[in-house]
Amino acid sequence: MPSHNTPDDALLANAKELYRKAVHEVPPNRTLLDNLVDYLRCNQNLLYGPMFTTAYDAAQTIIGILQGNEDGHADDSLQILTPPAVWGWAVMEDAVCLELPTHLRQTEYPRMVEKFIDLAVSTLNSMDITPGQVVRRTIQAVTRFWPILVGICLKESPENAIWKQHFENMLALAKRLVALCRYSDDSALQVHLVKFLEVEAVIFSPLPHPNADSQGTVDLSKIPDIHPYINKSDLGRRGEAARVELVHLLPNSDNLHLCNISFITGIVSSIIYLMNMRPQFCGQLLEKLTEWYAVINSSGQTLTHSQLVIIGKTLRIMLLHLYTRKHMSGYAEELESTLDRIGGPDWAAWQERQAREKERKERQRIRDRETLARQQQGSRQQSRFPSGRDGSGQQETGAQRHLSAMDRGGNRQQQQQQQQKRISRFAEDEDEEYQSRMLEENAKRVKLENKAEDGSLLPAQPSPSALSNNPAIVQQSVTENDKEMEAEVRRAINTGPFELQVTLHLSAAERELLVVDAMKRIVAGSKAIERFIASNRVQSLGGVAGLAKKLDPLRPRALGTTELGAQPTLSNGLSTNAGVLEDSILLLVRMISNCYMISFNPVLQETNAEDIGPSSKWADMHACIESVLEEIKQSTRSRYGLAILLLYEIWLAVTGTDPQLQQMKNIPENKYSIQALYMRWCEQIFDAVIKCSIETMQAHSQAQVVPDMSSSTSAGAGAGAGATGAAVANAAVPAVPAAPVIDRLALDFILDVPYLSDVHFKKLEQCLRSPATAALGFWTIEKAMDMRPPLFKAGINSLLTFSVSHDRVTRIGCIRAVKKYFTTSQESGLIEKFAQTSFKRGVQNAEATMVKIKDDITKIRTAEPTVDQEAAAQREADLAKLKLKGDQEIDMELATHGEILLALCTRKMELLSVVFDAYVPASTPVRLGFVRLIGPLIKSVSGTPAKILPALSNFPLGAETLAIKVIKVLALESAAVPSKELVQGILEMQAQRSLDPRFIVAVAMGLKKTEALEWIGKVVGLLDGNGQRNAIVRDFFSQLTTSFPGRPSVLSPTELLVALHNNLGSDATNAQAIEAITLYESMTKENGTKLFSSEVFNAALNQLVSQETIPPLMLRTAEIQYKKRNGSVGPIISLLIKLKEKEFWKLGENMVREFAHTLLEFQPGTLALVKSLPKLTMKKIVAFEPELSQIIYKYVIKMNHKDQDHFRWLIKSVAKSA
């Protein structure tokens, strides 16, 4: 094996060759670089020495590459240098983090660490001019190395100055990263910074108890209280601050710019990972996490529905995983409480699985116990006849008895082993045995309760002492009971055929008499059983029903129950436990359905002469069945199974008498017909089901109280953890709204019932009329449409009706459901037509609202004027309120009737033309409402601009403002810089339609340098001198000069100022150019300071005066800078001197005119320049600025006579004019 300090030459040569191949491709081959990283990890000796140096150089080369980039783009350089730099950081990370050979620990390794830390510091110091991918990779490497460095410093000698220096440098770097966590706006960078906070929160926190497993990480308890350069208390405060910062970074109203789903799920994962590693903070962090989850689920938050779904699912899965960890058993109660509040199917399913497993184990335990008991009883019976004594009375010897005992002991051991095998076989067939035992328990319990009903039949209860003194009584009682029970069970489970007596010889009248008599007996028997149940109230024991009592009634009926205590049924319709009343009612219903088929239906078909109403001989039967319906309606959940069986039994009668269901389309008028009876029963039961579901949902929603987190959030952000904890401790913790849980009872009924008409299905619309039950309504309708297709059209109509509801929760839920079926169902035309009609109605309502508000404003303005200042101020306040009210009502009308069309646009973008067509004739207030309304739609498709550009390119004339709004939203939402696809699409649209330059301004940040220079003149040409277009041009300038990490600006400030002189062409006048330069100079930062420094002006002017073609406008720029910034006249004189040296009089009349203007504006400091100017040029200057003649004359007469000779023409001219 080669030594560590001299790696195998062949391996090193292979690594170098792989690196050479990767970086010599353009762009570098990332796959080869990744393979090289894996190759070095497999041969760790290669991580040190030449390959480390190569990695260091690759990562160092790219630092500051974006600084001084003059051409506006560095795409080629970035593509070439970024992949090797990222590879370099991966190699250096492995080199300093993997286990190091012992002989390199004291020599090579400290120098590698020094280079690693210094390069990380340099990269972060230049992060604004270093590609973001490299910066993020640097933070990732530092995060991994930080706990390793702390561990090394603890192992090394405290007097080691090298490691002390490394620790101090790394600590300073860590503080810089924590500061970035608080102030960085880059969500991609924040993901890695959160991971760094997570590491600090873990390593700088103590273990939950001294014997806890540290899982290989550093912890605060390993740091000594006294250390030369590691301050334990300081690191402890850092760990506490990291925990607080993790919670503070959860997006709220103060930092909505961080509402990136990757960032949010990342920070949630970090917080739960911290709970796992340091369980002692579980309660504190869970409280903060649940409070935050309540806030983001409250109204008024900016997170989308899909983001909330992803966050909720992530939170549930991770907390459930944490709950199942053994070391978290001490915090199970807090975790259960949190999961109950959050809710969700994952938690409910897990509880259900655990309950089933517990029940299975309990049944297994009972079977094992009963099997062992029977075996022990058999052993006791065999012991009464010992085999060691024969019939002749001979006895065993002592040795024989000893051997016999040993044999019995061995046999007993074999019997136990065989018993275990039998128990395992019993477990494989548990379902059949369980059902038999439940039947046995039913029979036993009914028998005992029948005996208990008659107290005289019960024997006197013997005392415990009597029982213990007379075991024969106990044995005899048990034996007799067992025999009696076994006989009852055999009779109960007898499934032999039952033969009915032949009745073919009976006449119709006799057969009817038998039916009536049977019905009366069944009714009487049902009443007697009902009285018996009412007096004894048999309750279910254990089993599935016992489990159901522990579960929420809103859960799916996975166990065959619909409510607490509802009994499961077997395939034959009989209940498996205590269902005496239900079974009797079921028999009654079956007899009724048979009676209809035998008697009622023939009577209805032949003649209506016989009375079958309530006053007939069937009166008792009608009254009995009505009482059954009342029982079902009063206890809908517990009687759900009975209700479904009742409907199925009566449906059998419907299909038996009308196989083609012709009469279901036209129900007979007689309300006692079998069809009318089914429809009436179905309607009444469905009404009860919906009422029960609504009451359940309303009760559930009333338990949800959204806490006001404004105070706690601000306290957590600005105060320390102690103050926040005290505030929370003193305040009552409100209930946290759980994830929406839907009652499935209505859906189960829709799916289970044999037939449901559209009229009955529409009864679900009453759920949509209340925000508390809206989710129940559209969720149930949507599921029913999917799972019961005949109800699809009725469901679509209901959803469309409430997709224009004024309640936003109801509206959005219905729109989401309708959108799901748009373009995929046969009702797409119906949906599209409804959406278009609704949108037009919303525009009409908005216009009517605007007219009404306008009339009210006119009344206030035309009222009698007043001199009272307070009254005038009140009038203005009333006008402001009225305008605000008008805008709000317009927005409400457009949103209520228009959101469905905008939602459908995401599936069929051609519908956007309806919005543009309605925008053109709309009034100004309504147009502004359009602009506000369309924002969310455009944001939802911003990731795919190609989807919207075709529809956008055909917008009608007059809708330019709305189109520009769409483009701006696309540009802002696409990324920091508009995508190339979007920019190219706008440029093509501009070329085809010759649009306003404002379209280009919307995507200016994504232009190339040449494109920006081409359009700058057209944008400046928008200026009109009255300031109305100033904001557009100012925005254009700002976009062109804004840079981002990894992305330079389109133009540097100097290049923009130079372009304002060189690239305007004929698109802008000189006055517009001066106005544009004035705007450029006046632009400020957020703190009020000038955006462009004086150095930028000086550099631009020096560049302009050095050109071959010098623009005259340059002198006006110098004048603007001087006057606006109170500058010195020296730079201007220097500029004039350079112009004189270049013989400006040869550059055209405009240059001479501007030179003359500058001489006049900055005299007397500029008068010294006139001495050496040609006479003809001086005459032109005086002609352009006549005021200069007197000024120069006064300057000249102070000269000596020799110098005056050059100005004799001026002296004569002044004297003549005098």
- Rounded to the nearest 10 degrees, the angle between the axes of helix 75-97 and helix 132-155 is 10
Q: Is residue 1171 part of a domain?
A: no
pLDDT, average across residues 285-308: 74
**Cα 169 to chain centroid, rounded:** 39
pLDDT, average across residues 745-760: 90
Q: Is residue 84 part of a domain?
A: yes
CA distance 363 to 172: 63
Q: Is residue 170 part of a domain?
A: yes
Query: Do 604 and 673 contact (CB within 8 A), yes or no?
Result: yes
Closest to 207 in 3D by CA, of 273, 279, 155, 255: 279
Closest to 1053 in 3D by CA, of 1102, 1100, 1000: 1100
**Cα 275 to chain centroid, rounded:** 22
CA distance 200 to 1058: 50
pLDDT at residue number 613: 59
Say yes or no to pLDDT of 580 above 60: no
Say yes or no to pLDDT of 546 above 70: no
Q: Is residue 373 part of a domain?
A: no
Which amino acid belongs to residue 1162? Answer: F
The top-scoring range by mean pLDDT among 635-649, 793-807, 1199-1213 is: 793-807
Say yes or no to pLDDT of 72 above 50: no
Percent of the chain with pLDDT over 70: 70
The predicted-structure confidence for 976-1004, as pLDDT tens digits, reads as follows 678 888 888 899 998 888 888 989 998 89
Beta bridge partners of 1047: 1044
Q: Report residue 831's pLDDT band, with 50, 70 and 90 as the boundaries.
A: very high
CA distance 930 to 669: 53
Q: Is residue 525 part of a domain?
A: yes
Say yes or no to pLDDT of 622 above 80: no
pLDDT at residue number 906: 84
Across the chain, mean pLDDT equals: 74
Beta bridge partners of 1084: 1090
Which amino acid belongs to residue 830? Answer: L
The residue written with tokens 């969310």 in the block is 936
Query: Counting Cβ atoms within 10 Å, is residue 804 exposed (0-12), middle (13-18) or buried (19+)?
Result: buried
The predicted-structure confidence for 882-921, as pLDDT tens digits, reads as follows 888 888 899 899 999 999 998 898 888 888 889 999 999 9
CA distance 996 to 960: 8
Does residue 575 sit in helix, strand or coil? strand
Beta bridge partners of 1068: none
Closest to 216 in 3D by CA, of 226, 230, 202, 229: 202
Q: Which of 675, 700, 725 is the last residue of a domain?
A: 700
Which spans in 862-911 are helix H? Answer: 869-905
pLDDT at residue number 571: 37
Query: Do 1182 and 1188 contact (CB within 8 A), yes or no?
Result: yes
CA distance 962 to 952: 10
Q: What are phi and psi of 953, to 5 degrees?
A: -65, -15
pLDDT, average across residues 814-830: 88
The predicted-structure confidence for 690-739, as pLDDT tens digits, reads as follows 999 988 888 776 544 433 333 333 333 333 333 333 333 333 333 333 44
pLDDT at residue number 826: 86
Say yes or no to pLDDT of 746 above 80: yes
Q: Is residue 149 part of a domain?
A: yes
Which residues form the domain of 629? 508-700
The predicted-structure confidence for 365-398, as pLDDT tens digits, reads as follows 777 777 776 676 655 555 444 443 333 344 444 4
**Cα 865 to chain centroid, rounded:** 55
pLDDT at residue number 264: 81
pLDDT at residue number 616: 64
Q: Is residue 99 part of a domain?
A: yes
The top-scoring range by mean pLDDT among 21-30, 385-394, 543-552, 706-715 is: 21-30
pLDDT at residue number 87: 92
Cα angle 12-13-17, degrees, rounded to a multiple of 5: 120
Q: Which of 182, 205, 226 is the last residue of a domain?
A: 182
pLDDT higher for 1177 or 331? 1177
390: its two tokens: 């024969």
pLDDT, average across residues 221-229: 84
Which amino acid belongs to residue 40? Answer: L
CA distance 336 to 316: 11
Query: Do 931 and 961 contact (CB within 8 A), yes or no?
Result: yes
Q: Is residue 713 part of a domain?
A: no
Q: Which of 700, 719, 753 is the last residue of a domain?
A: 700
Q: Report residue 527's pLDDT band, with 50, 70 and 90 as the boundaries.
A: low
pLDDT at residue number 388: 38
pLDDT at residue number 515: 64
pLDDT higher for 100 or 40? 40
Q: How far is CA 656 from CA 511, 652, 664, 751, in A?
A: 19, 6, 13, 22
Q: How far is CA 785 from CA 758, 794, 820, in A?
A: 12, 9, 11
Q: Report residue 778's pLDDT band, with 50, 70 and 90 as the boundaries.
A: confident
pLDDT, average across residues 624-648: 82
pLDDT, average across residues 808-822: 89
pLDDT at residue number 725: 36
Percent of the chain with pLDDT over 90: 9
pLDDT, average across residues 173-182: 83
Total structural domains in the chain? Answer: 2
pLDDT at residue number 626: 76
541: its two tokens: 């024991």
Q: How far is CA 773 from CA 170, 343, 409, 617, 703, in A?
A: 56, 18, 69, 45, 14
The predicted-structure confidence for 461-496, as pLDDT tens digits, reads as follows 344 344 344 444 444 444 555 555 555 544 444 444
Lowest mean pLDDT among 233-242, 313-322, 592-601, 1069-1078: 592-601
The predicted-structure confidence for 103-140, as pLDDT tens digits, reads as follows 666 678 888 898 999 999 888 888 877 888 888 899 99
pLDDT, average across residues 30-58: 87
